[in-house]
A and B are shown apart, each in its own frame.
Chain A
Amino acid sequence: IAGITQAPTSQILAAGRRMTLRCTQDMRHNAMYWYRQDLGLGLRLIHYSNTAGTTGKGEVPDGYSVSRANTDDFPLTLASAVPSQTSVYFCASSDSNGGAYNEQFFGPGTRLTVL
């Protein structure tokens, strides 16, 4: 693995179903993020994690949950999908380097359609 990967690439999901989007990075970055991107709205932060074992809510956390059991993985779960969660989801990571913020590295995205 080189960088940050996401799976699946795309998914069509029936409303009410549970879905987990996977994200893995091999850069040993301490911080990870999940964004959704909708046309005209840019990137909106769903959840984040500054370090393994901790998570925090972003701008649009409702309907989503995350966990950070280790440094490399940061899965995003939709407990009961709704059509408004149709979007492109991006995972990102960064090295906060003891307090100094550095740029984020983004994955290729997961295109999710909820019917």
Chain B
Amino acid sequence: GESVGLHLPTLSVQEGDNSIINCAYSNSASDYFIWYKQESGKGPQFIIDIRSNMDKRQGQRVTVLLNKTVKHLSLQIAATQPGDSAVYFCAETRTGGSYIPTFGRGTSLIVHP
């Protein structure tokens, strides 16, 4: 079946390093992708999104890259800080359908001071 998954369940980095979290998707019809951050004990929060007509989008310290050829999505966090420690989820959906996103399992990012 179609799925969204993450390559690494846990990523440990040092404060100040750049972090890269990866996500694979299998449905070529997906046209909208979202990254969420979930801190311990809280609900997921939107970080950044990208639509299929783009291959890169930048936010504050975060960049999302979309490679439709290999169905791959990544989230890059620059100068990672302890406050970035959280679980990161990617989600994909297809506009024109029932708008229900499919979430990956999540990657736990641990930032060491």
Contact = CB atoms under 8 A, between A and B. Distances in A.
Interface of A: 31, 33, 40-43, 45, 48, 50, 56, 58, 90, 92, 94, 96, 99-101, 103-109
A56 B98 contact: yes
Contacts, number: 50
Contact of A106 (B43, B49, B105): B43
B96 interface: yes
B42 A109 contact: yes
Contacts of B44: 43, 90, 104, 106
Query: Nearest 4 A-B pairs (CB), nearest first?
Result: A106-B43, A103-B46, A42-B105, A43-B103
B104 A105 contact: no
* Best-buried of B34, B43, B95 by chain A (most CB within 10 Å): B43
15 contacts: A33-B100, A48-B98, A90-B44, A94-B99, A96-B99, A99-B96, A100-B95, A101-B95, A103-B34, A103-B49, A104-B44, A104-B46, A105-B46, A106-B45, A108-B42
B43 A107 contact: yes
B32 A101 contact: yes
Chain B's interface size range is 20 to 34
A103 B93 CA distance: 10
B98 A42 contact: no
Nearest to A91: B43
Given A101-B32, A106-B45, A109-B41, 8 more contacts: A40-B105, A42-B106, A43-B44, A43-B89, A99-B96, A106-B36, A106-B44, A108-B43
A43 B99 CA distance: 16
Interface in B6-33: 32
